[in-house]
Chains A and B, each alone.
Chain A
């Protein structure tokens, strides 16, 4: 159990276009979902925390108008990179938090590699 999917797994787009990435928890309902970004050979950077039906909470320095997050249900969150530029090229990873008893555990999706030309 605890499978998280992401779609697409990779995307190439032109500068100025918008890209939507989907994150789904396939076999559990996620209390919370998270979006991370990771540049080559660097550590995970949390971008935002997302709860179903409410606005996402963005980390300091992350532009909420550029990285739009929608959490439509307990199993689906989407990240839209608006007006993408080459510096937005990165590995975007979502995670979903599963609550079991009093403990919650984050399970990661496989990631989406975005390349902006």
Chain B
């Protein structure tokens, strides 16, 4: 069973702090990795994708990938209350277009 694991949270951080969200995956053949944000009652929206080891930065967001450890993370700098949402990690092994989603981590940014 190919799995993607996330801590369900909630992860609570004060406004302005760095939020660190983590995800591990079981399929070593995974090639593409995605972070989606989902507000309550809404559909997921893509934040970032990452394909190679290392860091990828986009504004306040940094995705980190370590294929050897089968680990991908998302850092949110200067967290804002508007960042409060559930963050979904998704993985694709390149064999099909199907993604395996984690169950999500709920983030609460406290004002």
Contacts and interface: CB of A to CB of B under 8 A. Distances in A.
Interface of A: 2, 31-32, 34, 43-44, 46, 49, 91, 93, 97, 103-111
Interface string B91-111: 010001111011110000000
10 contacts: A32-B97, A34-B97, A43-B102, A49-B96, A91-B41, A103-B51, A104-B97, A105-B34, A106-B90, A108-B36
Interface of B: 32, 34, 36, 41-46, 49, 51, 88, 90, 92, 96-99, 101-104
A103 B49 contact: yes
B104 A34 contact: no
Contacts of B43: 93, 108-111
Contacts, number: 47
Contacts of B92: 104
Given A43-B103, A43-B104, A44-B88, A107 B98 contact: no
Contacts of B101: 43-44, 46
- The prevalent SS among residues of A at the interface is strand
A49 B42 contact: no
B98 A103 contact: no
B51 A97 contact: no
A97 B42 contact: no
B37 to A, nearest CB: 11
Task: Report the 3 A-B pairs with minimum CB-CB distance, sorted nearest first.
Answer: A43-B103, A111-B43, A32-B97
A107 B46 contact: yes
B72 to A, nearest CB: 15
Nearest to B49: A105
Contacts of A49: 96-98
Contacts of A46: 98, 101
Contacts of A31: 97
A114 B76 CA distance: 34
A115 to B, nearest CB: 14
Contacts of A105: 34, 46, 49
Contacts of B103: 43
Nearest to A92: B43
